[in-house]
Amino acid sequence: RSSLLKSTSELLRRSRRGYASSANPERKVAILGAAGGIGQPLSLLMKLNPLVSSLSLYDIAGTPGVAADVSHINSPALVKGFMGDDQLGEALEGSDVVIIPAGVPRKPGMTRDDLFNINAGIVKALCTAIAKHCPNALVNMISNPVNSTVPIAAEVFKKAGTYDEKKLFGVTTLDVVRAKTFYAGKAGVPVTDVNVPVVGGHAGITILPLFSQATPASNSLSQQDIEALTKRTQDGGTEVVEAKAGKGSATLSMAYAGAVFADACLKGLNGVPDIVECSFVQSTVTELPFFASKVRLGKNGVEEVLGLGELSDFEKKGLENLKGELKSSIEKGVKFAHGN
């Protein structure tokens, strides 16, 4: 009788909420840094995602207001706000996906690496809490410098004994979003049809868009056009930082990109086949321990790290040129995690 009661109440709960099923089980998403420039629109977009049943919004300040606001939207996800260290554990408990846009953004004249001193410590503390409270969650790292914060997270998880390389992702989706937009504009093809892989890392020349593999293919682009598109993609973040003139970096396009990537992670977890996105992950694609490339997502996170495919001579040169900087950014993160 008690099992009948249990299944009836489960059915009632599902029909009230109206979406959970065996194909789409309940999923909790936590956003750390949810009251920030990225965090707020990302919270909005994740509230709109039908795959999310519980949305946990954490920040050091401001989350009660953001959570109250977003929670009034008539979509299924139940929203809760959490503020300050004391509430971090509860915010994380039971999370399937944790998205981290916490930390300071660039101002004009700064590199992403200039954010290291502040953001490395923030990421380290948040990842220590993830290891404790939701060690099986997929972690989507947005905080810069991504080329170093992902290795920091890996080292924190290794130290805690919870590291699973399939579950840690540096979010490089904004590079792909930009490459698609700029390519479509120049090639004169519908932007919604465009696909462009972007590999390497997420800073300056470490961002390597592979326009030779862009689809739909275009024969109207000269080598000069390709080089200009590559530079614009690499400098896309700086273009926004300069346009915002001291008021931060990309927030709205980043929230969109973060929502696209988190949605792909959720679909992978739910067993949707053929979910492929570029991401900065532990990798053997090159000699570097972390590298962004196309990744197939599945029920355990990374199902397969895909290779680079055929590169043009220009892209081969770009790949060799980026390795030194990417290697030292990775090493800087590892060293920080060990030293503190």
Contacting residues toward ligand NAD, per CB under 6 A: 32-33, 35-39, 59-61, 101-106, 115, 119, 122, 125-126, 142-144, 146, 171, 174, 202, 248-251, 254
Distance CA 125, CA 196 (A): 34
174 binds ligand LMR, rule: CB under 6 A: yes
Q: How far is the CB of 145 from ligand LMR (least distance, A)?
A: 8
Residue 202 annotated in active site: yes
Identify residues 199-238 at the interface with ligand LMR (CB under 6 A). 236-237
Distance CA 34, CA 100 (A): 8
CB-based closest residue to ligand LMR: 237
Contact 302, 55 (CB under 8 A): no
Distance CA 230, CA 240 (A): 16
**Angle between helices 313-339 and 116-133 in degrees, nearest 10:** 70
Q: How far is CA 163 from CA 33, 82, 139, in A?
A: 22, 25, 11
* DSSP reduced 3-state for 208: strand
Distance CA 97, CA 42 (A): 13
Q: State both tokens at 209.
A: 């868009």
Q: How far is CA 180 from CA 48, 254, 301, in A?
A: 24, 14, 24
Q: How far is the CB of 240 from ligand NAD (least distance, A)?
A: 8
Contact 327, 208 (CB under 8 A): no
123 binds ligand LMR, rule: CB under 6 A: no
Q: Which is nearer to ligand LMR, 138 or 198 (CB)?
A: 198
Q: Which is nearer to ligand LMR, 144 or 279 (CB)?
A: 144
**Could you tell which of ligand NAD, ligand LMR, none binds residue 241, using a CB distance below 5 to 8 A set by kind?**
ligand LMR
Supply the DSSP symbol for 134: -
Residue selected from 240, 269, 275, 326 as contacting ligand LMR according to rule CB under 6 A: 240
38 binds ligand LMR, rule: CB under 6 A: no
Q: Which helix (H) or strand (E) holds 42?
A: helix 39-47
**Could you tell which of ligand NAD, ligand LMR, none binds residue 189, using a CB distance below 5 to 8 A set by kind?**
none
77 binds ligand LMR, rule: CB under 6 A: no
106 binds ligand LMR, rule: CB under 6 A: yes
Q: Which is nearer to ligand NAD, 38 or 194 (CB)?
A: 38
User: Where does this chain bind ligand LMR (CB under 6 A)?
Assistant: 105-106, 112, 144, 174, 236-237, 240-241, 249-250
**Active site (catalytic) residues:** 202
